[in-house]
């Protein structure tokens, strides 16, 4: 079998054609990578980033939901305590009702109420305050039990001052008590007018 030798010009042309084809294949490969694979990789990276962001958001949402639930429980507890306190504060002084309750407590504890005086009413705070002065007499144990009964009455009160008088030859004690009764009634019009003018 005989081989024909290509002329030098044809040989260069053939080499150029082969080189051009090779270069074209390289360019096509680069084009495919640039136009198809690179955007695909970018899309995958973007999708992965979005998935991570969504997972973080869901985690934060779950944490917020737990915090919100805990705050709701605390708020309900606060509202319940506030409602209980408000139910124990009447909308007027009602000192006669309080005196009846105190008299019943004194009888149950063996204490005698010697004096009961209504003092001034203070409208400056969140609740109006009526000052009450007691003079009671009884055994030390009886007076302690009486004070405990006063503190546990349905009506909220506060003992401001306690003064004790005693006789060394007697087992009977005399106490002067200063108490405050709270109520929610608004201040009288003249008091509001004075506060506004001032």
pLDDT tens string 104-150: 999 999 999 999 999 999 888 788 899 999 899 999 899 999 999 99
pLDDT at 38: 58
The predicted model scores a pTM of 0.54
Which one, of 182, 169, 186, 188, lies nearest residue 93 by Cα?
A: 182
pLDDT at 15 over 70: no
d(CA 6, CA 183): 121
List beta partners, residue 130. 121, 181
Q: What is the CA radius of gyration of the chain?
A: 46
Higher local confidence (pLDDT), 54 or 27: 54
The enclosing H or E element of 175 equals strand 173-183
């Amino acid at each position: 079998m005989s081989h024909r030798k290509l002329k030098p010009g044809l040989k260069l042309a053939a080499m150029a054609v082969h080189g051009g084809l090779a270069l074209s294949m390289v360019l096509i490969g680069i084009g495919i990578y640039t136009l198809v694979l690179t955007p695909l990789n970018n899309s995958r990276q973007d999708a992965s980033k979005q998935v991570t962001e969504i997972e973080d958001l869901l985690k934060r949402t779950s944490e917020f939901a737990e915090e919100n639930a805990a705050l709701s429980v605390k708020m309900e507890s606060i509202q319940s305590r506030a409602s209980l306190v408000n139910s124990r504060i009447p909308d007027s002084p009602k000192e006669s009702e309080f005196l009846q309750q105190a008299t019943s407590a004194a009888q149950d504890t063996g204490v005698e109420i010697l004096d009961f005086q209504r003092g001034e009413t203070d409208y400056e705070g969140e609740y109006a305050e009526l000052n009450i002065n007691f003079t009671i007499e009884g055994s030390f144990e009886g007076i302690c039990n009486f004070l405990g009964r006063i503190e546990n009455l349905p009506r909220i009160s506060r003992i401001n001052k306690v003064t004790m008088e005693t006789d060394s030859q007697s087992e009977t004690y005399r106490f002067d008590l200063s108490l405050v009764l709270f109520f929610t009634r608004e201040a009288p019009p003249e008091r509001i007018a004075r506060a506004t003018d001032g």
